[in-house]
Amino acid sequence: SRGNELSEIGNLKKLRKIGVLLPGSEQDINDLRRQISKMARRLRSLSIWITPGTLSDSASLDNAGSDGTLFLRPVYLESLSINGMEKSGLPSWVTADFNNLSKITLCDTHLTAPKLDNVVSNLPHLHCLRLRRKSYTEDGLTFRAGGFKALRFLLLEGADITALTFEENSGHQLEKIFWSMDTAVAAKASAIGIEHLVELKHLIIPEGRSCPL
């Protein structure tokens, strides 16, 4: 129920996977960040859900908060899921040199296009990307040439993305796209350059939706 309860969990030396649902006050997020730093070298899977309607304007998962504590990055992370950090989005400590990160799931994070292009698309072993409701700030998602080299599965679910664009030599290992959209998005949806995805085996659009390809 509160972030400071994580101090005991952080002492578990064999802990590799942690999932938390907690209020989003500045103190709670600071406590969470301290424990992430404490477990940095052994943490493999991290899932964070913020209780809806509780996120403070000053709360952030970024490297240094108002407490000014030193932060060690969990560079061995393999899976990261964040739901509800809409003010700070993907933490600044997630950078393109996270060589083990293979799965990212975002919801209510307001990921920006520059961070997608400069960080997420350059993760060398990212196999699975799930973008859910209000996870991305733009209505167009572009796969730049040379980006998403290892991506195999893309899920867009409840996101406001109306256009997918695939430049040549992008996402060349992408095998499956699941694109769930409401009626408003479906009316404007398009996928440009999908012919460049030479490994694509499945394009799934739920029944009752349409997408001009």
pLDDT average, residue stretch 128-132: 96
Asked if the model's pLDDT at residue 146 lies above 60, the reply is yes
Contact 160, 188 (CB under 8 A): no
CA–CA dist 90, 110 (Å, integer) = 8
The Cβ of residue 135 has, within 10 Å, a number of other Cβ atoms equal to 27
Contact 56, 84 (CB under 8 A): no
Query: Which DSSP category does 90 fall into?
Result: S
CA–CA dist 194, 113 (Å, integer) = 20
- Burial of 123: CB neighbours in 10 Å, binned 0-12, 13-18, 19+: buried
Percent of residues, the chain, with pLDDT higher than 90: 54
- Could you read off the pLDDT of 87-97 as tens digits, one per residue? 778 899 999 99
Predicted confidence at residue 67, as pLDDT, reads 57
- Domain extent listing, the chain: 1-94, 108-213
Helix extents (H) in the chain: 6-9, 26-38, 113-118, 183-186
The two structure tokens encoding residue 69: 């504590």
The residue type at 143:
F
Predicted confidence at residue 183, as pLDDT, reads 80
Predicted confidence at residue 213, as pLDDT, reads 45
Return the minimum-mean-pLDDT range out of 39-43, 68-72, 126-130. 68-72
Predicted confidence at residue 174, as pLDDT, reads 96
Reported confidence tier of residue 200, pLDDT bands at 50, 70, 90: very high
Predicted confidence at residue 137, as pLDDT, reads 84
Upper half-sphere CA count for residue 166 (Cβ side, 13 Å) = 23
Q: Is 35 helix (H, G, I), strand (E, B) or coil?
A: helix
CA–CA dist 48, 44 (Å, integer) = 13
Helix extents (H) in 55-173: 113-118
- Non-local (6+) Cβ contacts of 57 within 8 A are 87
Q: What is the mean pLDDT of the chain?
A: 88
